[in-house]
Chains A and B, each alone.
Chain A
Amino acid sequence: MLDLSRFRVLELSTGISTPLCGTALANLGADVIKVESSHKPDLNRARAAPPNWPYADMTEGFLQFHEVNAGKKSIRLNLKQARGRDLLLRLVAKCDLLIQNFAPGWLDRLGLSADHFFEVNPALVMVFLSAYGQEGPLRAQRAYAPIMSALSGLEGIVGYEDEEPVGVLATALGDPNGSYFSLLLALAGLYRRERTGAGTLIDLSCVEAVTTLLGEPILAWQATGERPRLGGMHCADAAPHGLYATRGDDRWVAIAVENTDQWRALAALVQSRASAAFWADPSFEDVRVRLGRQREIDGALARWTGTRDAEEVAEALQARGIPAAPVLGALDLDHHRHFVERGLVHWVNHQLLGTIGVTGTPWLVNGEAPPVRGAGPSLGHDTEAVFRDVLGIDGEEMEALRLGGVVE
């Protein structure tokens, strides 16, 4: 199992992107301390209650909070007070990595900056994640994940063939994409620190992180002057290539034929007495012919899949070496055999919610998933322990901090 337990991470965060990075680090064993305040709560502690919610608020109960904060410690610190900022700097001095994603300018307004952090800890690695980056004309503009994917071009490249874009807005991919870029850069910074002792400030832009995935159409535009056309399910070098309706309500199977052997195997499997002439057409062995007659092929293939179960179709095609898989919905994932075998979901206890399923870091290390060390922390659950163990503050001094509203 991977073991990053020698690293202490301080996290100043809200939402998804940086918190998910922090949880991945916690799953790998790092000691992750989330600094929170009731003056500026994580937006996932301030959600509107769902219908029939039995508790006063959502401070502890939002499931997505636990998805991206599992296994961390939480401390409450009032950074609007000078003493609170001083304590934060003392914590920074004891940490290896600081990750944060509050809007650019937030630290400045508190009278803090990366330079203050470097002053107390020159070996500190910092990842400041934001939508646009810490500098530049758009740095202060509000953004959520779909804003990032719209500006990067991602929303504009997905749609039905030759129609208007539909986009991928519901997937909010700009956030986890930023999370794992953040993880990579944080670990790279720690690697350098181990070798040189030097700290690094990494200023990560989520818009850039999505844009970097679109290099292929960006280069194609420059080379040809053609914007990428919306191709629906089509692919330039595979045919058939699509999602085909199967038996059941809104059930589909994904099929791609990438070479002649796969085409022959598919044709042999699906042809019936009535359709034998169509599937046996030798011209279809040329992918260019299949691409040109894809609608015909799609129709014939859909007639075959439509009377069968998606899993059954996928199994039959895979047995013949043809790429195929069922289309699963988000609610199918928890109990699907593949993901159960792979340990995607970790079941942990929470004092309010009971047993909840938390998505783990999707890697197996020597055959085992990195363990999720618990649900997200209660607000301020670890304040006392962290101040005692990390800063040596307890007893009367701690009580004074509480009375002064420094430690909430």
Chain B
Amino acid sequence: MRAEESGNLLSGLTVAEWGRGTGVRYCGKLLASLGAGVVRLGPGDDGRQANSHRDVLLQHGAPKESFGGARATDVLVTDGTRPDLEEQQLAEGSVVVALTPFGREGARRTWVASDLQVQAMGGLCALIGEPDRHPLYIPYDFAQLQQGIHGASAAVAAVLSNAGHTPRQIIDIAATDVIASYCRMYSMLYRQYGIRPHRAGRRAPGSGGRYPFGIFPCRDGYVVLIGRYKDDWNRYLEMMGSPAWGAEFSTIDEFELATHYADQVDAHVIPWLMQHTRDEIAGLGRRYNLPVAPVRTVDEVLMDEQLAFRGFFHIEQGLKVPGLPATFRGSPVRVPGEPQGATADAEGP
């Protein structure tokens, strides 16, 4: 263990949070979870139907205060609806992080959006769903949560960058751009291999160039099977008992197998999978050193032995709530929900 472990990572950082959206609130929540002092300004809801579960997740226990009465904080995280707050913050030489759907700059800066529009224009929806049906989206404000992570990162980066010079930073993060950056990055693989980056049901387009790369049905649900190397596929065949049908495909190039023969191979693989449960297949995956996992339901996630080992969930209002996704050595991080000032080592047992 290292010496000087006292304090939270962001202890001493002060943040004001203004805005109703999930992105702003999650950004504030993350900064508070890492030890920053976050003051919430204005209303806490986003104007939508009351959602106590979302509120439990996004609250961080900081008191409401009027901005005028407080000294300027190091950072203002805002949804962009209060330019007067931004001006005041910048006048103090501090940082503004503006989290909006389409950004503060550009032709679409005035556009309004829910998470759906952000995911649609960011390229995400086009990759989700069956090829002959309408695209899908990810529920629970996925894009805005990603924006919150970026916002928190940018806030700390700006403070580190300032450190005595270059003050008055305004950081403009569009949720659409965040999602687009992810989708474009992955599209480079498809572009280079001549695979159309288009929704392909339960598998990656063209299986991403290697079979398998998909979600497959099994006796009690679904499993994810991934193979990236020729040796992986050989071990999958071995895992399935080295069936005779494997020889049918043995002369086919791996890329061809993934992009043109996936349906035919599926027709052999799925009957085998349907004879086995998710746990059995996951166990075999471990035995054959293959990347295999059950598709979990949320209730099963709560019982995950690895998450339990690492003490990932903490108790808040009698419920298990996901914590920060990391353990820390050298920095006890306050567990959300505990009294201010209390610290706990988030390290697993």
Residues of A within 8 A of B (CB): 1-4, 7, 16, 20, 24, 28-29, 43, 48, 50-51, 62-64, 66-68, 114, 118, 122, 132-133, 135-139, 141-144, 146-147, 150-160, 164-173, 176-177, 180-181, 183-185, 187-192, 194-209, 211-223, 227-228, 231-233, 235-238, 241-243, 245, 250, 252-254, 256, 258-259, 318, 321-334, 337-339, 341-342, 344-345, 359-367
How far in angstroms is the closest Cβ of chain A from B238?
16
Interchain CB contact (< 8 A) of B304 among A151, A164, A362: A151
For chain B residues 21-73, which have a beta carbon within 8 Å of chain A? 30, 34, 47-49, 51-54, 56-57
**Can you list 10 pairs linking A and B with CB atoms under 8 Å apart?**
A63-B189, A67-B188, A155-B222, A203-B327, A207-B306, A236-B49, A258-B47, A258-B114, A339-B180, A342-B177
Docked complex Cα distance between A258 and B326 (Å): 36
Residue on B nearest A326 in the bound complex, by CB: B121
Whether the Cβ atoms of A118 and B2 lie closer than 8 Å is yes
Docked complex Cα distance between A291 and B186 (Å): 35
Interchain CB contact (< 8 A) of A169 among B172, B190, B224, B312: B224
Whether the Cβ atoms of A51 and B190 lie closer than 8 Å is no
Whether the Cβ atoms of B156 and A187 lie closer than 8 Å is yes
Docked complex Cα distance between A156 and B217 (Å): 12
Docked complex Cα distance between A373 and B168 (Å): 24
- Indicate the member of A29, A360, A362 with the most B CB atoms within 10 Å: A362
Docked complex Cα distance between A137 and B289 (Å): 15
For chain B residues 161-211, which have a beta carbon within 8 Å of chain A? 161, 163, 166, 168-174, 176-178, 180-194, 197-205, 208-210
With an 8 A cutoff between CB atoms, is B5 at the interface? Answer: yes
Interchain CB contact (< 8 A) of A180 among B140, B146, B185: B146
Whether the Cβ atoms of A203 and B154 lie closer than 8 Å is no
How far in angstroms is the closest Cβ of chain A from B323?
7
Whether the Cβ atoms of A218 and B291 lie closer than 8 Å is no
How far in angstroms is the closest Cβ of chain B from A58?
9
Whether the Cβ atoms of A205 and B326 lie closer than 8 Å is yes
With an 8 A cutoff between CB atoms, is B237 at the interface? Answer: no
Residue on B nearest A324 in the bound complex, by CB: B117
Whether the Cβ atoms of A198 and B330 lie closer than 8 Å is yes
Whether the Cβ atoms of A254 and B169 lie closer than 8 Å is no
Interchain CB contact (< 8 A) of B306 among A3, A16, A133, A153: A133
Residue on A nearest B149 in the bound complex, by CB: A180
* Chain A residues, CB < 8 A from B222: 155-156, 164-165, 167
* Chain B residues, CB < 8 A from A201: 2, 328-330
Residue on B nearest A340 in the bound complex, by CB: B106
- Give the contact-size bracket for chain B: 35 or more
Given that A167-B295, A330-B197, A366-B170 are contacting pairs, would A136 and B156 also be in contact in the complex, using a CB cutoff of 8 Å? Answer: no
With an 8 A cutoff between CB atoms, is B150 at the interface? Answer: yes
Q: How many A-B residue pairs have CB under 8 A?
A: 486
With an 8 A cutoff between CB atoms, is B127 at the interface? Answer: yes
Whether the Cβ atoms of B163 and A51 lie closer than 8 Å is no
With an 8 A cutoff between CB atoms, is B93 at the interface? Answer: no
Docked complex Cα distance between A52 and B128 (Å): 29
Interchain CB contact (< 8 A) of B123 among A155, A158, A256, A329: A329
How far in angstroms is the closest Cβ of chain B from A286?
13
Render B143-166 as a binary contact track against A, CB cut-off 8 A, 1 for contact. Answer: 001100110111011111101001
Residue on A nearest B319 in the bound complex, by CB: A222
With an 8 A cutoff between CB atoms, is B7 at the interface? Answer: yes
* Chain A residues, CB < 8 A from B267: none
* Chain A residues, CB < 8 A from B335: none
Whether the Cβ atoms of A180 and B150 lie closer than 8 Å is yes
Whether the Cβ atoms of B331 and A156 lie closer than 8 Å is no
Interchain CB contact (< 8 A) of A28 among B157, B166, B295: B157
* Chain B residues, CB < 8 A from A171: 124, 127-128, 182-183, 186
Whether the Cβ atoms of A194 and B134 lie closer than 8 Å is no
Residue on B nearest A336 in the bound complex, by CB: B121
How far in angstroms is the closest Cβ of chain B from A264?
15
* Chain B residues, CB < 8 A from A321: 112
Given that A171-B182, A220-B53 are contacting pairs, would A63 and B123 also be in contact in the complex, using a CB cutoff of 8 Å? Answer: no
* Chain B residues, CB < 8 A from A331: 187, 191, 197
* Chain A residues, CB < 8 A from B239: none
* Chain A residues, CB < 8 A from B128: 158, 166, 168, 170-171
* Chain B residues, CB < 8 A from A43: 228
Residue on B nearest A197 in the bound complex, by CB: B4
Whether the Cβ atoms of B326 and A202 lie closer than 8 Å is yes
Given that A141-B286, A365-B169, A367-B172 are contacting pairs, would A243 and B140 also be in contact in the complex, using a CB cutoff of 8 Å? Answer: no
* Chain A residues, CB < 8 A from B217: 164
Whether the Cβ atoms of B126 and A330 lie closer than 8 Å is yes
Whether the Cβ atoms of B9 and A64 lie closer than 8 Å is no
Residue on A nearest B331 in the bound complex, by CB: A200
Whether the Cβ atoms of A51 and B194 lie closer than 8 Å is yes
Whether the Cβ atoms of B190 and A330 lie closer than 8 Å is yes
Whether the Cβ atoms of B298 and A214 lie closer than 8 Å is yes
Render B323-343 as a binary contact track against A, CB cut-off 8 A, 1 for contact. Answer: 111111111000000000000
Whether the Cβ atoms of A364 and B171 lie closer than 8 Å is yes
Whether the Cβ atoms of A359 and B184 lie closer than 8 Å is yes
Closest 8 CB pairs of A and B: A330-B187, A208-B325, A254-B120, A362-B177, A325-B117, A237-B49, A209-B325, A198-B4
Residue on B nearest A147 in the bound complex, by CB: B293
Docked complex Cα distance between A114 and B8 (Å): 20
How far in angstroms is the closest Cβ of chain B from A294?
14
Docked complex Cα distance between A159 and B197 (Å): 19
Docked complex Cα distance between A329 and B121 (Å): 8
Whether the Cβ atoms of B301 and A214 lie closer than 8 Å is yes
- Indicate the member of B189, B254, B292 with the most A CB atoms within 10 Å: B189
Whether the Cβ atoms of A205 and B325 lie closer than 8 Å is yes
Interchain CB contact (< 8 A) of A344 among B53, B157, B180, B302: B180
- Indicate the member of B158, B187, B209, B326 with the most A CB atoms within 10 Å: B326
* Chain B residues, CB < 8 A from A157: 138-140, 298
Whether the Cβ atoms of B9 and A192 lie closer than 8 Å is yes
Docked complex Cα distance between A169 and B293 (Å): 12
Docked complex Cα distance between A50 and B254 (Å): 11
Render B301-327 as a binary contact track against A, CB cut-off 8 A, 1 for contact. Answer: 110111101101000000111111111
* Chain A residues, CB < 8 A from B34: 184-185, 188
Docked complex Cα distance between A237 and B176 (Å): 22
Whether the Cβ atoms of B294 and A151 lie closer than 8 Å is yes
* Chain B residues, CB < 8 A from A341: 105-107
* Chain A residues, CB < 8 A from B200: 170
Q: Taking A172-B204, A199-B330, A365-B171 as given, write out 19 further A-B residue pairs in contact, using a Cβ cutoff of 8 Å, ordered by the A residue number.
A: A146-B293, A150-B224, A153-B300, A156-B297, A181-B149, A191-B10, A198-B3, A208-B325, A218-B298, A218-B301, A223-B319, A227-B297, A252-B125, A256-B114, A322-B112, A325-B118, A338-B108, A339-B177, A341-B106
Residue on B nearest A360 in the bound complex, by CB: B181
